[in-house]
Structure 1
Amino acid sequence: MVVRIDQEDAELRALRVLSASVGADPLLVQGAGGNTSLKQAGLLWIKASGTWLMNAATSDIMVPVELAPLLEAVAHRSLAAEKADQFTPADLNPHRLRPSIETTVHALLPQRIVVHVHCVETIAIAVQANAEALLAERLRGLDWVFVPYRRPGLPLAQGIAERLKPRTDVLVLGNHGLVVAADTVAEANLLLKRVSGLLSRPPRVAPAADIDALIRLGMGSDYRLPVAIEAHAAATDLASCRIAASGSLYPDHVIFLGVGSVIAGPNENAAAVVARTRETGQPSPASILFPGKGILMRRDANAGAEAMARCLADVASRIDPGARVNYLSPQENAELLNWDAEKYRQELNRRSGTLQ
């Protein structure tokens, strides 16, 4: 019989606290990204899709999923595994929240606690063509595996299943992020800190944004300055700008900012960039990078887009200018934009922006 976890369960409380702490760190989680889970009494309790980990300590964002039928669906490569809400007991999910799109990943790992983050230190390595060799240098002695990029959901779960070993407790996901697993929240926290520390490197120091120039470039348009001043580094650091100009580095960029990055030409203001993109049948970009000056955000850009604008700067500044980078292909971009689970997250993001 399925038993609901007591709201005062110590391990669940500890997971909520850790989740909120992780979710409040933009170098680990951006916006509605990342997820955590706890396995107990036949259930997998996991963060709901589209919710923000930073709210885990104060809001009821954990959703129960019956573990056995979900694992059976994954084993049979059933599309039912893509809609884990089919395995959510209705009486234990009064808010009718959807489980995270990464539920299958959490289910595959045998450890009780799983923490998945979009750690910028990890992503900066995981997007590189020689990522596995770079990881081997830094993660020596740990039980880790590298999983080349696959679309989140069932394809990623299948990719993990192909490489998972009995003792694996660290997954580095190509063009995606980091997963750590342990039997207690305390152990998962320590492992997360250890791995992210081993993968860390100082970002390039970027020139300051030219705010006056940006204000002039945005005049008469629907564009404004970003909330996070750190986001400007994606454009003021020309090496980062070149990296951003070449394509999409990871899924959440595509979901919340669109495919790739739009770079302004030498004599273009925001209005001119919009006119150029519309001529090609594209919508007004969520953000525009002005090389050497900084970035402007579309006036209606919400908290998810803002978080990803900063993430781009944080990731790109940790990639060597001469590195060979793997970008998401046109097909992989299209898979994300046309996937029902991601459309659901986009809709939640549009409705509330921060989901506070």
Structure 2
Amino acid sequence: MDLTALLLRAAAARPRVLLAAAPAAVRVRLAAERELRLRDLPEAVTPADADVLLIAGTPGPELDRAVDRLWQDMPEPRARVRASRAQDVAGALDAACAQLAEGRTRHQRRSASAPPGLPMAERGPDRDGLTLDRLHIPLGPLLADWPPGLTARLTLQGDVVQEADVRLPPPAAPPPVPFWAEPWRRAAAGERITAGAAARRRAAARLDSLGRFLSVAGWPAAALAARRLRDDLLGDAGTAAVRPRAARLARRVGRSRILARLTRGIGPLTAAEAAAAGITGPAARADGDVPARCRLWLAETLDDLGRLDDDAPLDPGRDEEPRGLPGASGRTPSHALAAVLPRLLAGAEFAAARLIVASLDPDPEELAAGAVEGARG
């Protein structure tokens, strides 16, 4: 058996999957993450260590170009598949494994005229009046454990962020009702939704954010525990099945001295600053830095897990969505979170940038839906 055949068999048996999710595809992303976990298939962090590129949802023209760049950077053998809906994920993974096993991978020539992988530096004054190299680096739009579609364009001098610009590409199609805020939107439309159902969705959303944050912080085991709890909640698990595990996770994360040392003092946001920026929800109540926001997610998740059986009607005007209350003009909570990111990123060390974004975790579906509503208005 030749080397190529051996590589194909190895890749098909347990391929590493790079997940590229569209901003308005939370349901598909969640289904993909769950399916990968059930199949014990590892998620790739970079294109260089991926065998399969799984596209979740419909990225749109601008993000399609980013997907193509990921594909170009993947080594052979490789497979590229798409799941437009949550129910398409299993079939897409089956098709990818079949492509790898049979050697029917798509080949794409890497253009010699492609732009260089590293941006060039320019000169500029730093905060102390010295002239140092300025390097422009984008984070996103398709990055592991990153809000899908979001791009933060950073200007660095040394390892310090001097400026940051945050943007999201226009949606490929009218976005759906944001998945995490769906119970509140349905209640606002007159449907009877219980407070317990809203608490379940809110707790799952915060566990989703927590999993992303812990993964960025370099704690994959705790991130996996958070994501398993998230999936169990979305699968209608009861309080007795999830609350003890969530309490253990909260103790484990909350008592971690390593995590505290790694994140202490990063991205401080006072309650007054949050109020001035129109931020509500955990980011405002935390009144502090990155670890303060993480601890509040944990505490409020435990509170919500005690409310899963609350059959009182949900009041969408008073009972908070996962990321806060909408603004008076219909501005989503995630718009306020995204708007404050440039200020929090400026002055931070580059290594801390992803932790700051993960600790606020604006929802791309909310951003996309809000952009469409703003255009209509």
Structures share fold, TM-score greater than 0.5: no
Q: TM-score, normalised by structure 2?
A: 0.24
Rg larger in structure = 2
Q: TM-score, normalised by structure 1?
A: 0.25
Query: Per residue, is there more helix in 1 or in 2?
Result: 2
